[in-house]
């Protein structure tokens, strides 16, 4: 009888990836980045261990929203006070804080538990094309802008 090898937290190799979000649909970007943050692209993926890589997203202000989502999509938050629900459209949020929009889309695709919160800490999102993580030598990651023909 052979034993199944299970990786431990000590021998996990974490890579750095940089993603250019310019002209990439928000959902496709979030799905691809969440996959890398979870570590599902690795052959040694284990669901109960944080195996993910670090991801740097640049050009968050140039992310693409298809259809009428700019005017119709609404983000809600609550202040915690009575009647304190606040709303903002995607168009206003993209102009005011595009990093927040990308972060919320990616966070929604991560597990809703303590491992998911830990995975989220390995995400960095920047408005422009500059980022302070050149020393980590991040590899470029391509996000397909369209689905492959079936």
Assess if residue 115 is contained within a domain: yes
Q: What SS3 class is residue 87?
A: strand
Assess if residue 126 is contained within a domain: yes
Assess if residue 59 is contained within a domain: yes
Assess if residue 71 is contained within a domain: no
Identify the bridge partners of residue 143 per DSSP, sorted by sequence position.
Answer: none
Assess if residue 23 is contained within a domain: yes
pLDDT of residue 140: 96
87-105 residue pLDDT tens: 999 999 999 999 999 999 9
pTM of this structure:
0.91
> Which parts of the chain have pLDDT scores under 50?
none
Task: Return the CATH number at 100.
Answer: 3.90.1180.10
CA–CA separation, 60 and 111 (whole Å): 23
Q: Give the range of the structural domain holding residue 115, as residue numbers without chain letter.
A: 14-64+96-141
Q: What SS3 class is residue 45?
A: coil
Identify the bridge partners of residue 16 per DSSP, sorted by sequence position.
Answer: 54
Assess if residue 70 is contained within a domain: no
pLDDT of residue 1: 79
pLDDT of residue 150: 52
77-88 residue pLDDT tens: 999 999 999 999
Q: What SS3 class is residue 150?
A: coil
Assess if residue 112 is contained within a domain: yes
Assess if residue 25 is contained within a domain: yes
Phi, psi of 41 (to 5 degrees): -80, -5
pLDDT of residue 60: 97
pLDDT of residue 148: 59
How many structural domains comprise the chain? 1
pLDDT of residue 56: 98
Identify the bridge partners of residue 18 per DSSP, sorted by sequence position.
Answer: 56, 140
């Amino acid at each position: 009888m052979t034993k199944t090898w299970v990786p431990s937290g000590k021998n996990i190799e974490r890579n750095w990836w940089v993603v250019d979000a310019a002209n990439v649909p928000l959902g496709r970007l979030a799905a691809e980045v969440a996959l890398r943050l979870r570590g599902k692209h690795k052959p040694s993926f284990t669901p109960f261990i944080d195996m993910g890589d670090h991801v740097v997203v640049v050009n968050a202000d140039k992310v693409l929203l298809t259809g009428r989502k700019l005017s119709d999509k609404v983000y809600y938050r609550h202040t915690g006070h009575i009647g304190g629900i606040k709303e903002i459209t995607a168009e206003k949020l993209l102009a005011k804080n595009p990093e927040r929009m990308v972060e919320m889309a990616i966070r929604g695709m991560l597990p809703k538990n303590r491992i998911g919160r830990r995975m989220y800490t390995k995400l960095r999102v920047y408005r422009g094309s500059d980022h302070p993580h050149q020393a980590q030598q991040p590899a470029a990651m391509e996000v397909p802008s369209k689905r492959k023909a079936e």
